[in-house]
Structure 1
Amino acid sequence: MGLLDRKKGSAKADAMTDIIGEPRKYMKIELCERDPADNKFRFEFKGCNCGRKVKTGVFSSKPILSYDQPITVVGDETGRALVQCATILGSIIDPGHKVVEYRRRLLKKLQPSWKFTDPLAKPMGWEDKCVSGTYWEHLIDFRVHNTSVNYIMESVSCGSRLENESTSKILCKLEVNCGCKIIGSFPLVFQALTAVEGSSLGKKSVKYDKDGRIIWQDGLGLVQVGDVGKIFHLVAYGGDISAYKSYASRCRRTDLHKRIIAKPVWPKSRVMVGEEFTHGIGNFMRNYGYVNTGGSGNLLICRNQPLDKYKVIGVCMDQKMEVKKGSTKEKYVTIQ
């Protein structure tokens, strides 16, 4: 997968280069230090249409509510609340795919546990059964941009490797270019990034073998606990980054008694990069590529000039990135 040259401080890796399109930012995640006394599992979502009005008839409309005050979720209601949170995250982070399947993946990766008194509050297959018979079961015409929730779940802990003593001190603030905002516990938000359709992000960790060969780390290793206060951006090389705004408008303007039939072209070839990342008109010579790690989250690489060495600058959320025909394949590139 990669060969390390310790003397030169570089590595050679099998990579695909010449990614099609230019990277455009559409979502950001800020890591915030939380109050030391606050160790509760939190999830707050405010759709960008909250506080506005949604059409209910030819000449009628009604306000879209916003829940600014947190609701404490008791033990037996926790499963239902977690399914709702996962549904919202899937509709925001991975739109265009089947949200029910997304939330199953996310909740299985998250491995939440909580205290409950009724055994039926967490049955086998609780990821589906906790919302059975409710609107949240099949999600017909789910208008996430019109939605608002604000939950505190006191007894929740997670078996995910993303939850530990250090990450428990971090809250994530996620904001989409349409105005939707999420505030959530670190394990929930970053595990949500690993649950996108077809992604291998978050499956392995980094190490060097005895011969100095690199076993690449999944991209979540690019986010360190010391990064509190920093911002990470999600960028897309393909699709339409304005799709969130246009779909939010349809959620508001389409009569509640009618289904939204539009199918936006959502962002694709998605990558997470650091806050220092920029791409402008002066970067027309820049070449982007990715290193296929064989199932542990592909790494985004970049060089500014044809003779420059590549550098790792981010991690791919999508396993497959569109590249130009004739792109380097199964050839080694030098990474500084």
Structure 2
Amino acid sequence: MMQAPLFPAASFGDLRARLADLPAADPTSIAAARVRQDNLTKPPGALGRLEELAIFMAGWQGRARPVLDRAQVVVFAGNHGICRQGVNPFPQEVTAQMVANFTRGGAAINQLCRVSGADLSIVALDLDRPTGDFTEGPAMTEAEVLDAMVRGAAAVDTGANVLLLGEMGIGNSTVAAAQARASFGGTAWDWVGPGTGADADKIAIKAHVIEAGMERHAAALSDPLATLAAFGGREQAAICGAVLAARAARIPVMLDGFICTAAAAVLAPLGIGALDHCMVGHASAEPGHRKLLSAIGKKAVLDLGMRLGEGSGAAVALGVLRAALAVHDGMATFAEAGISAG
């Protein structure tokens, strides 16, 4: 019997049922890629993380020698009702202004996509209609979450060899910290940071509103999808939809920094290995990111002190991924080179 597509789903319960049969990495391809790595003209393990990345890609592409002909970057943008609480030093109009900058090719992500060889898509999600203030009620209804997930899934190019995800949204570092706090515990102070440049007073406001949100939505904290509705933004829900659509299509995903990782990490407590196909491009300088990486058992590809968002760290890491696959495919084996393996 053919599995129903993930989207559209009628409810959170319907979506959970459809997630039961997500495809897994191919163990045969993983084993074959590992054998190839062990027979290339180098000491075993000498290329470190590059070897791990090549084997990871082999498993999800289902081939011993994975390819990277087509890379897609998708940046989702949304606006947030929590900004009414004064959590950000910039007005929400900046979200739309930055989307226009992306469209004109003037942002960092445009340059990084150009040099790393990636196609860039920008998806603005109802910027004129911010989500609700989560200190007063849920940020989104179940229907709004599912709609944003559908839009995220629809943005995925199923012909891509890898999907890189990023975001833009004034106030969404507060949303990310709230999502991390809801999903993995601790206190708001474990997760908040400067975001777009918040000073100590703004960071304290962030922590206060997050704890207020936790108190209001305590009943939702045991359900990952309910926490997405309680605290998330449309771009966070869209990231989740894109992650799940990529998994259904067996496309490996490269997440960006703290905000993007926090969005996808909402899926981790579902207990279905929903992030098994995901890499993380870089360790953000945003304070909560390393704690979040530990919580989901991921190791970032790069650590460059970045905290820009908009998919920038993932796009830089794409160059490392290309290097990993180039040496995996192009190096000679000991037998091919006529070198004794010892």
TM-score computed with the length of structure 1 as normaliser: 0.28
Structure having the larger proportion of residues in helix: 2
Larger Rg: 1
Highest relative contact order (Cα 8 Å, sep 6+), 1 or 2?
1
Higher percent of residues as strand:
1
- For normalisation by structure 2, the TM-score amounts to 0.28
